[in-house]
Amino acid sequence: MTSIERVFVPSVKEADGTAIGLGVFSTEETAWTVLRAFMRKSHLMSLRTASIVVWDVDMVGEEGMTILTTMHCRDCPVCKRRTFWLDLEQFSAMCTGVNCEAWIEESTIETDKIDLGWPPTRFLKQTSTLEEALKELRVLGSELAATGYTPQAPITSIREE
């Protein structure tokens, strides 16, 4: 039997400061899967932050702890729901809303550029700053709102049967 050397602990914090632990996992992939599934429900709760902490087993004190990620929950600039998770350390953001999924991340090709997009319409763009990226997504959200789009509405003109 193999011994576990590290564990991954995803958690969220509510607006009132209450922490909600989502489990202890032996793989980072499982911790991310659980955290992302929980974040999809962020519009139903008053969440402030989410994080994944890595703990080295059999270590005493803070030396055994590494914060892998800390994300902050904001209103999405496109769908306006509180489902936009922003990680300033890794410089990425993503809306976990099912009908939205707007995103921002550092370009992997051009180091001084920021990529952003909105998958339902294959909208892609590049900007120089995070502020510009958020502005572009807000403009897109305003244009969608002007057409009568709501976050619960599917992005299609084909009627459901």
Does residue 87 sit in the same domain as residue 69?
Answer: no
Does residue 69 sit in the same domain as residue 89?
Answer: no
Q: In angstroms, how far is CA 157 from the centroid of its own chain?
A: 28
Show which of 44, 74, 104 is a domain's final residue.
74
pTM (global) more than 0.75: yes
Alpha carbons 80 and 68: distance in angstroms, whole number? 28
Domain that holds residue 128: 83-146
Does residue 4 sit in the same domain as residue 62?
Answer: yes
pLDDT tens, position by position, 91-133: 889 999 878 899 999 988 888 899 999 998 889 999 999 899 9
Neighbours of 116 (CB within 10 A): 23
Does residue 8 sit in the same domain as residue 69?
Answer: yes
CA atoms within 13 A on the CB side of 35: 25
Does residue 70 sit in the same domain as residue 105?
Answer: no
pLDDT tens, position by position, 14-57: 999 999 999 999 999 999 999 999 998 888 889 999 999 999 98
